[in-house]
């Protein structure tokens, strides 16, 4: 293994129940006096957003609202938000919501002063160096789900409708200046969304731990994140008012996003085309695909997974960990196949060509090409777990 790497964990996080009350102070600390509050239409109609705007107002921070972040956001969402931000001369963004709303808010702040088109900054090579770093607006992130961990991430995922591809826009300064992680904000989530977002956090931790590259910091964070999911996700789904379980899941989500600076892998590479072409929930798609990728990667990760199983208190074998994943999916009501998720073969060839080109594919512990992706999609459609 090549023992050389670049590591970075700089996020400032205000974690704990009731910390939303500090939103105005956090905006000031981030240098934001006139924020654009970015969220989605569902949240915009809920008391949470009124509360956030009221907290800002009481601190003398005049916020305006933009609520056109789609569940699978597209470039048009970013462009619409940019128009509002520029017209209102907003000096920063407060992104409130799940991963999609946070991603849209971060990308709006990133694009605020750029002169090049959005796709020029896709996370391919060093495309991010094309950006004018001085023109990026600061962001305060307020997650309302425990899944993507976008509040501590340096990228946003946006769908290019012309190619039906999910593209990752990256820049180190897209990292929010401050994240307010208040588990009380997740208490109203229904069990299905709690399960889907929680499985997304698990996928992030798992792929980071198994991914190619040398990053023992990420490995340690990922392993503990997986333990938190194991101990708390089903609890949070059974009792949505269990604030301790909600808090631990919010931490696990941040840990997954912190850890996957090491790598993602085939779970995400396969999931992104499915979401782009079939508009499925990203976390739930990851949950469906997870065991099929685990089995595919087994030759490269068996010993690592055995150590992980031991840490979770399972029999220290790959088989025991796989059985745990399958049982967790069953308990949470995760569909066993992509077909159960409403996906069929009509885009099979297209997805099989798209997945190996996804930026996540390069971090997989085994190489994947179109043939391997086709095989994995077929298994995920049929429910065949065996190699």
Same domain, 120 and 254: no
Same domain, 40 and 131: yes
Same domain, 127 and 219: no
| Structural domain range at position 258 | 191-382
Residue 128 near residue 121 (C-beta atoms within 8 A)? yes
Q: What is the DSSP annotation of 142-197?
A: EESSSSS-GGG-SEEEEEETTTTEEEEEE-GGGS-SEEEE-GGGGTT--HHHHHHH
Same domain, 146 and 248: no
Chain centroid offset of residue 111 CA? 20
Residues 6 or more apart from 279 whose CB is under 8 A from it?
71, 72
Residue 6: the pLDDT is 66
Q: What is the CA radius of gyration of the chain?
A: 20
Strand partners, 180: 14
Considering only CA atoms, which of 270, 266, 324 is closest in space to residue 296?
Answer: 266
Tens of pLDDT along the chain (387 residues)?
567 666 667 789 999 999 999 999 999 999 999 999 999 999 999 898 999 999 999 999 988 999 999 998 999 999 999 999 999 999 999 999 999 999 999 999 999 999 999 999 998 888 899 999 999 999 999 999 999 999 999 999 999 999 988 899 999 999 999 999 999 999 989 999 999 999 999 999 999 999 988 999 999 999 999 999 999 999 999 999 999 999 999 999 999 999 998 999 999 999 999 999 999 999 999 999 999 999 999 999 999 999 999 999 999 999 999 999 999 999 999 999 999 999 999 999 999 999 999 989 999 999 999 999 999 999 999 999 976
* Distance (Å, whole) CA 286 – CA 349: 19
Domain containing residue 313: CATH number: 1.20.1090.10
Residue 125: the pLDDT is 85
Domain boundary among 150, 171, 186: 186
Strand partners, 96: 142
3 state DSSP class of 94: strand
Domain boundary among 186, 203, 237: 186
* Distance (Å, whole) CA 91 – CA 33: 7
3 state DSSP class of 35: strand
Any alpha helices (H) in the chain, and if so which ranges?
A: 23-29, 41-44, 47-58, 75-87, 99-111, 191-210, 216-238, 243-259, 266-278, 282-311, 318-332, 348-354, 370-382
Residue 357: the pLDDT is 94
Residue 268 near residue 360 (C-beta atoms within 8 A)? yes
Residue 258 near residue 149 (C-beta atoms within 8 A)? yes
Same domain, 377 and 238: yes
Specify the number of domains making up the chain: 2
- Residue 59 burial (CB < 10 Å; 0-12/13-18/19+)? middle
3 state DSSP class of 13: strand
Same domain, 200 and 135: no
Q: Is the dihedral of CA 166, 290, 330, 314 positive or negative?
A: negative
Angle at 363 between CA 285 and CA 170, to 5 degrees: 80
How many residues comprise the chain?
A: 387
298 within a domain of the structure (yes/no): yes
* Parallel, antiparallel or unpaired: strands 155-160 and 165-170: antiparallel
């Amino acid at each position: 293994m090549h023992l050389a790497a670049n590591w970075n964990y700089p996020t400032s996080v205000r974690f704990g129940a009731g910390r939303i009350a500090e939103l105005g102070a956090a905006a000031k600390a981030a240098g934001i006096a006139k924020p654009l509050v970015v969220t989605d239409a569902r949240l915009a109609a809920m008391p949470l957003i009124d509360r956030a705007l009221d907290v800002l107002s009481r601190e003398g921070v005049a916020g305006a609202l933009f609520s056109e972040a789609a569940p699978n956001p597209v470039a048009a969402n970013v462009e619409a938000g940019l128009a509002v931000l520029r017209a209102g001369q907003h000096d920063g963004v407060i992104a409130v919501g799940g991963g999609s709303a946070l991603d849209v808010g971060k990308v709006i702040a990133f694009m605020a002063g750029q002169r090049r088109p959005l796709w020029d900054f896709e996370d391919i090579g060093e495309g991010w160096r094309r950006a004018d770093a001085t023109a990026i607006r600061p962001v305060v992130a307020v997650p309302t789900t425990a899944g993507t961990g976008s509040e501590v991430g340096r990228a946003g995922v946006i769908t290019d409708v012309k190619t039906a591809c999910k593209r990752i826009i990256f820049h180190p300064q897209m990292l929010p200046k401050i994240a307010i992680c208040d588990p009380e904000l997740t208490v109203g989530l229904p069990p299905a969304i709690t399960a889907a977002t929680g499985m997304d956090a698990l996928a992030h931790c798992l792929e980071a731990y198994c991914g190619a590259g040398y990053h023992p910091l990420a490995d340690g964070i990922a392993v503990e994140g997986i333990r938190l999911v194991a101990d708390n996700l089903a609890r949070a789904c059974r009792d949505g008012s269990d604030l301790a379980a909600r808090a631990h899941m919010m931490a696990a989500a941040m840990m997954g996003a912190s850890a996957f600076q090491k790598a993602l892998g085939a779970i995400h590479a396969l999931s992104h085309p499915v979401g782009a072409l079939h508009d499925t929930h990203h976390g739930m798609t990851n949950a469906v695909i997870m065991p099929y990728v685990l089995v595919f990667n087994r030759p490269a990760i068996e010993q690592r997974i055995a150590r992980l199983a031991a840490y979770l208190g399972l029999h220290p074998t790959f088989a025991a960990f796989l059985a745990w994943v399958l049982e967790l999916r069953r308990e949470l009501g995760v569909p066993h196949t992509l077909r159960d998720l409403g996906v069929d073969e009509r885009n099979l060839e297209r997805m099989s060509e798209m997945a190996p080109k996804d930026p996540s594919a390069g971090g997989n512990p085994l190489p994947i090409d179109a043939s391997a992706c086709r095989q994995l999609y077929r298994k995920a459609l049929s429910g065949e777990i065996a190699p």
